[in-house]
Amino acid sequence: METQLDPMKDDLPLMANTSHMLVKHYVLDLDVDFKSQVIEGFIVLFLETGSRCRRASSTGEEGCQSQFDETCKIRASEQGHVPVSNASVCSSKTEYNDFAVCGKGEEDTSDKNGNHSNEEQASGISSSKNCCDIENHGNEDFLLVLDCCDLSVLKVEEVDVAAVSGIEKFTRSAKLTDVSKELANLRNQIVHELVTLPSDRCKEQLYYYTCCSQAPGCGELLFTTGTWSLEIRKSGIQTPTDFPHAIRIRYKTKPEGRSVTWTTDQSGRPCVYTMGSPINNRALFPCQEPPIALSTWQASVRTAASFVVLMSGENSAEPVQLQEGIMSWYYYVTMPMPASTFTIAVGCWQEVKQSFTPAVQTNNEFSLPCSQADFRWHEESCGHVEYPCRFQSPAARLQRVIPYRVFAPWCLMKCCEEHLLQLIPQCLSAAYTTLGTHPFSRLDVLIVPSNFSSLGMASPHIIFLSQSVLPGGSHLCGTRLCHEIAHAWFGLAIGARDWTEEWISEGFATFLEDVFWARAQQQMSHDEEKAQQELKALLRWRRLRDEVQNSEEELQVLRPNKESTGEVSESGASIVKHGLKAEKIFMQIHYLKGYFLLRSLARRIGGASYLASLRKFVYKFHGQLVLSQDFLSMLLEDVPEQKESGLTVESIFTNWLDTSGIPKLLPDQLVLLLEYLLEEKTLCPRTLQCLEETYQLREQDAEVRHRWCELVVKHKYVPGYGDVEKFLREDQAMGVYLYGELMVNEDAKQQELAYKCFAAAREQMDVSSAKVVAEMLF
């Protein structure tokens, strides 16, 4: 059984033993019932032996193509199970009688605590940590551990993939010696061949995934569920290699499950959607949550005809009528992604059609401004596992604006047409101009119900936006849209190998939000763009400062696991530090501190060079999981002069990622901060005192001290008059105009200070400077 975790702890456990077995593909077949607020059906998992448990021998490479007919006879003689057919669908009489859909399933046998099992003695299951070797474990069976929470698991069974018509092509010749063992090996060999098909056969692969998911069962598997996991074993199977590689789990969600929200939209119609829960999707389907478990998926969802099903999928699904009043929607993805990125929304959404042609160039004649180095990157092969990659498609590389759709409740359609629709092509085009190839082939944008706790959320092929971004002009809507679009590259196409490093996603998206939005606003001058970005920086700085002052120090660290970042246990299980801490959901530390790190690097390296490095990073690491050092090392390799000046990965860890609080500002950043403070009408003495003490302004360079003296003069901060006197005496090359500022306020003390300083310095001053100052004073 799983280790009992303290419910008062705020760490999120990732229980799946991904080092032993990896899910390569999910097939979901689900019914949505709005009356009971339950999603019910089955999920089929296609598995491969994990990296730590693969045998070096060629045992797994041999199949049973010869005597395939004989294996069919053997299979027929086994204890049979009824083949799984499409789940039946029926309407129920409810207050929303056109909204209810239910599927027939096994009886729910959960206990009062919500735990499930078909084990006669659950205590007989060994802990997953004891099942990590490829050799026999004495009398212990291998245990497959999946992340699972708030689910009623009804049945788990092995799938007889060998029963699928035409599946012979996925087997190889071998002699049958031990009939039962060879039949099990045959099934696993079929799955191995299926999951490793080359990307140019992805359509065929999806077809056979569907066929295999509907194949008959060939034996129930023992299982038990706990608070955080589903544990599955097959009696007598002691290694991951011999464990069934295709299993089917029949289950249903619970109304209180934390992965989805059942609610009503702004028009009062019922809906359900994944809202970005801290526990991710484990209360929607049993899965492997660790980021390293990259998988593809396909899903068929049945619901009443009045509903629209949106999902993270490459295809723009069209509903198919199964029976009167019941429609089925089918989506798929061929790019391996973490299961946490799977997203679904079922509601009475209306597609918002545009009544105008967007004024954005969408043809293929547009060329992205690239350096010669950019072209060399495209000549290299991708570094990810094989899948149909858009970065290798000449047509995709020229696609400035990908196809998009907008969905919303009926009452918000007009607002979306007026504001959102025209912004999408502009923001997509700006993103392409900045980073190049769009990682995903299409985009749906959905205005989610008002209970959504964020302004936006990005998933593969779909973005959720809050209704709050719609009114009040285009600025908030545009910037938020840019932020979520940026996640297509940073957060989705490139993911963090350790979830605690969420700054890799949010910091980059916040930084790129400004770049995209500036480019999306046509006819904006360079000066206007710079002013807008500087203003945003000031606002973010204040927000970061406030959050640092009002949050726990340990939550301010961007790399809380430090040198252990990315490490997992021998089984692959790990924890997400502070993953369940309630207040963390609303914190901006990872957004803002990450943004200022990237902004400081951009200012130090230079904007154009920095964006070129981002494009290179995207091309090199798309489709992969990264750690902070992957980006920082590549960046510093491109600008070796920065290494020579003391900027290293280690120094960035020390100053930015591994410590709490706000990093020490560079002089230019301090100058910017002080210049914005100079625009404030009033600053109290206490604020000025804290400012000087926090940043030790008296110890900074002349540019910073000059702005500090201007603040002192403007706000008549008497404790700082000594700093002004010292500056006028020792920094005569920069202090001339401070005399004028001392005089213009018509403050007796300040004018007296000006006379005093001029009298002391006049004889040593440059003649021209002395003349200018004298004209100011007399």
Active site positions, annotated: 484
**Residue position matching structure tokens 């041999």:** 62
Question: Could you give the C-alpha distances from 550 to 440, 596, 690, 709, in angstroms and in order?
Answer: 39, 19, 16, 30
Q: Are strands 443-447 and 404-408 parallel, antiparallel or unpaired?
A: parallel
> What phi and psi, each to the nearest 5 degrees, are found at residue 480?
-70, -40
46 within 8 A of 158, measured Cβ to Cβ: no
Q: In this structure, what is the dihedral angle of CA atoms 459, 464, 465, 467, given to the nearest 10 degrees?
A: -170
Phi and psi for 68 in degrees, rounded to 5? Answer: -60, -35
Pick from 366, 349, 167, 192: which is nearest to 273 by CA?
349
**Is 216:84 a contact under the CB 8 Å cutoff?**
yes
Instruction: Strands of 112-259 (E only): list them.
Output: 144-147, 151-159, 217-220, 222-225, 229-233, 246-253
Closest CA to 133 of 125, 123, 141: 141
Give me the amino acid identity at 297: W
Contact call for residues 81 and 218 (beta carbons, < 8 A): yes
**Phi/psi of residue 761, nearest 5 degrees:** -105, -10
DSSP classification of residue 129 = G
Backbone angles phi, psi at 757, to 5 degrees: -65, -40
Which segments of 408-525 does DSSP mark as H helices, in order? Answer: 413-415, 421-435, 475-486, 503-520
List of E strands, 34-168: 38-49, 89-90, 102-103, 144-147, 151-159
* Distance from chain centroid for Cα 418: 29
Distance (Å, whole) CA 39 – CA 41: 7
Residue 689's contacts (CB-CB under 8 Å, 6 or more residues apart) are 719
Q: Which amino acid is at 708?
A: W
3-state DSSP of 285-347:
CCECCCCCCEEEEEEEEEEECCCEEEECCCCCCCCEEEECCEEEEEEEEEEEEEHHHCCEEEE
**d(C-alpha 346, C-alpha 301), whole Å:** 9
d(CA 440, CA 431): 13
Residue 573 vs residues 16, 21, 55, 186, 238: alpha-carbon distances, Å: 6, 12, 21, 29, 19
